[in-house]
Structure 1
Amino acid sequence: MSRKVVAAYFLSLDGVAEGADKFLTSWDDETDAVGGRLISTQDTVIFGRRTYDEFAGFWPTSDIQPFADFVNAVPKYVATSTPLATQWGTAQAIEGELTDFVRDLKEQPGGDIGIHGSISVTQALLAAGLVDELSLVIVPTVVGTGRRLLDNLPQISLEPISSSTTPSGHLLVDYRVNHSG
């Protein structure tokens, strides 16, 4: 059985994934617990270059748990065409095509492969049929502008796995990507 690729995002109600720190203005224990459960099954992370650079400048000295310990310890692979300027743990640039790399990575032993905050990586892997699940925290805010996670993709069928609403009004939704059509 191959490993799952799970893309996790905070989205505004209108689908904006960019700059979640600007529209995610409330937090609660249930939202926190979902993140902890999500990363408990992951042992590898894939980033785009921009997200890697942002995270590498913040997470190595962060005490925001449990994500700081998780993201600092796991192997990190970065979709980039240039060498990494900042070294962060075992991070390494992906050699070759992203989709080929992920296809091969899914066949290696291990836990789930996480994508956290890399919109272009998620879009490319969704379009290639390589994302297995979407784990979304939908924030009850309309942002209006910004990059949307699901823009410019082919039709993709999703099956709901679970959904709930937190005290802060966040909609927690997990979807399985239906690869059969």
Structure 2
Amino acid sequence: MRKIIACLFLTMDGVIQSPGSRDEDPKNNFKWGGWSFPHWDDIMNQSMAKITAEPYDLLLGRRTYEIFAAFWPHQQNDPTSETFNKVEKYVVATTKVDTSWVNTSLITGNVVQELEKLKASDGPDLLIYGSAGLCQTLFEHHLIDVLHTWTFPVTLGSGQRLFEEGTQPEQWKLADAIVSSTGVIMANYSPDGDVKTGSMSGG
């Protein structure tokens, strides 16, 4: 069975919207697009290389897929572009999507059922970048097997957040964590069963 592996950039107050550039996702007049850019360093590049070292296919929401499709196929002599062009790309959408990017398949209809079938099929693990809307569905149905959260030392106060209504109670186990020279906390989690509670009062 394939694993679904999510790699998500978020601010300290949980905003996931438009980390890469100003015009990436400006919905609801979001004006802070590109907030992750000033913080990148070699430690982060090495950590990303480790995440992508094993074979993978891409699983993306519609908006993230369209951003990728408009950029990566047109990059020359770029290892990431070569990989993204080669791997299978699964895009989850409820509206029409241009799937002309080579090796792209559309997942629609009963999305949860189709994702469960995809997980059960043969093939490499499924890697998600961004795709906040898709992640809400995956969290709701406990479909994420590995969660990489990169928390940037930024607060924005507005914008789409990673954990929104529909996220189910779940405990997560920390596998490892590292901090970049710019203060980005890169943590790797896996699901760890039901939420455990207790009392600090000792009573």
Structure 1 CA distance, aligned partners of 2:114 and 2:55? 17
Name structure 2 gaps, 5 residues minimum.
Answer: 21-33, 195-203
Please say which of residues 39-48 and 137-146 is displaced more in the overlay.
39-48
Secondary structure of 1:58 counterpart:
helix
Distance in 2, Cα, partners of 1:45 & 1:82: 19
Percent of aligned pairs with the same amino acid: 28
Q: TM-score, normalised by structure 2?
A: 0.82
Residue 65 of structure 1 deviates from its aligned partner by 5.2
Gaps of at least 5 residues in structure 1 are none
Q: How far does residue 35 in structure 1 lie from its aligned partner after superposition?
A: 1.2
1:9 and 1:123 mapped to 2: Cα distance?
12
Give the structure 1 partner of residue 129 of structure 2. Answer: 116
| Distance change >3 Å, CA 111–CA 86, structure 1 → 2 | closer
> Higher relative contact order at CA 8 Å, sep ≥6: structure 1 or structure 2?
1
The ranges of structure 1 where at least 4 consecutive aligned residues each deviate by more than 6 angstroms after the TM superposition are none
> Which residue of 128, 137, 154 corresponds with 2:150?
137
Q: 1:46 aligns with which of 59, 62, 68?
A: 59
Secondary structure at the counterpart of residue 155 of structure 1: coil
Q: Is the 8 A contact 1:138 1:171 kept in 2?
A: yes
Greater Rg, structure 1 or structure 2? 2
Instruction: Give the Cα–Cα distance (whole angstroms) in 2 for the partners of residues 63 and 32 of structure 1.
Output: 20
CA–CA distance in 2 between the matches of 1:35 and 1:146? 25
Query: 1:149 offset after TM fit, Å?
Result: 0.7
Counterpart of 2:96 in 1: which secondary structure?
coil
Structure 1-normalised TM-score?
0.91
Cα distance 1:7–1:89, how it changes in 2: closer, same or farther (>3 A)? same
Aligned pairs, number: 179
Deviation track 1:63-118 (CA, whole Å, cap 9, x = no partner) reads: 59543232222111111123322511111211432211121111222221111110
Aligned mates of 2:169, 2:186 — CA distance in 1: 22
* Partner of residue 154, structure 1: 168
SS in 1 for 2:138: helix
Which residue in 1 is equivalent to 2:17?
18
Residue 29 of structure 1 aligns with which residue?
A: 42
Match of 2:111 in 1: 98
Q: Which residue of 2 aligns with 1:174?
A: 188
How far apart, CA to CA, are the structure 2 residues paired with 1:8 and 1:139? 13
In the alignment, the residues of structure 2 paired with residue 70 and residue 15 of structure 1 have an alpha-carbon distance, to the nearest angstrom, of 30
